Structure 1
């Protein structure tokens, strides 16, 4: 249409389905048509501005606005756009495992994070003792409702450095960029041997006698010299 042309009719489509029509010269001016994935509120809609509600995830897709001018030419113009509908999870991600607590040192444990009923599924990330921890590739499961469930699993070998004071702290974050961020944390108990609960001073545990600093330095140097001489002797032979 050219600037200054009067509107004969304006129509809105989702895909090929018309759901809204504005015809200024008719009564009523606004007509709406049933569509499966949302409803139009005619009271909140005006001319080319359409208000839709009760939107489902399947309302996403291609939309087209078509405008026709009055007689005698009935010139027609149209514009298209794509709408994405995001359905955010209703709850924080859950953290679960089939392995029974308390864990043993060097035991391998599988821990799973799940975020349910979203579209699209959020991205899941693991943190172990507040540090990022890579896991298996995220799995997305589709449901008949059109919503998705995200699942991610990590496998951990319970090492002494990961379970200080007998606790393994696991955190899972579910996120949509700029839209959604939720996390959940869970502490898992680890059965540490008595040795880790009552460690003797580090010098005694290494078998070093409590000499003064100067004498210890001399003793240590003597050991290094002895080792060097022994090695040289082996090479010469």
Structure 2
């Protein structure tokens, strides 16, 4: 498991340090009092494992970090007599269980016609917190999609069921499962093909994607790039333009 370091930098402007305390969610788990022996105390707290040998007044090292360590941390510093000034700062720690696999993406058909509806499913691997799944069509984000958080065991039921159960727990690895219904219109395909992609992201730590190339069932004919008229005598195509020759230059108007 990973090790993290909590840092608390302070300047008492010449005042002696009386005590330094660390809290998680309002509960104290580390205390340093330089005048006492031993000068360090550690209080048991679920998910918090302090490495005493590597901790000091300026930083506290947590080992074997689990998702339960996620939460708000506060450092409180107090000066000694006669003033006993106290200052505190807090920060939020999010422990991320990053997946290593790519998202899994399926569609009900890879060949579609204009006017039809395509259904797609995309699930990011189990992680904590769950990944955010985003759909793209030809490089553009598709806003119309639904996403639910499922435990790995519930994912199988969700794929084959119309109703997707909701999960309230956020302390276990979750699968981000997204369903998409895409109305195929004339702008979906480019030269008879369309690129449908789903991307799974977790902050800046994880970004994986899966892409499927869709094909148009009855590709529309491409517009001709050369327009012209035919010679009534020989049937030869003549460019529909007026060409002028001026001082050695060919100009088209």
TM-score bracket, normalised by the shorter chain, equals: 0.5 to 0.7
- Once the 2 structures are TM-superposed, how far is the Cα of residue 75 of structure 1 from its aligned partner? 0.7
Match of 1:66 in 2: 76
TM-score, normalised to structure 2, is 0.62
Match of 1:80 in 2: 89
Calculate the aligned-residue CA RMSD, in Å: 3.9
Tell me which of 168, 176, 182 is aligned to 2:208.
182
User: Residue 42 of structure 2 contacts residue 50 of structure 2 at CA under 8 Å; is this kept in 1?
Assistant: yes
What is the number of equivalent residue pairs in this alignment? 204
Residues in 2 aligned to 1:65 and 1:52: alpha-carbon distance in whole angstroms: 15
Residues in 2 aligned to 1:215 and 1:149: alpha-carbon distance in whole angstroms: 60
Q: Note if 1:136 corresponds to 2:163.
A: no
Where structure 2 has 5 or more consecutive residues not aligned to the other structure, the ranges are 1-10, 150-166, 242-253
User: Residue 189 of structure 2 contacts residue 216 of structure 2 at CA under 8 Å; is this kept in 1?
Assistant: no
Summarize deviations over 1:113-152 as a string: whole Å, max 9, x none. Answer: 2224344444332233x43241424424255352444333
TM-score, normalised to structure 1, is 0.65
Where structure 1 has 5 or more consecutive residues not aligned to the other structure, the ranges are 218-237
Q: Identify if the C-alpha distance between structure 1 residues 215 and 150 changes in structure 2 by more than 3 Å, giving closer, same or farther.
A: closer
Residues in 1 aligned to 2:86 and 2:210: alpha-carbon distance in whole angstroms: 51
User: Residue 136 of structure 1 contacts residue 152 of structure 1 at CA under 8 Å; is this kept in 2?
Assistant: no
- Max Rg structure: 1
Identify the structure with the greater helix proportion: 1
Match of 2:117 in 1: 108
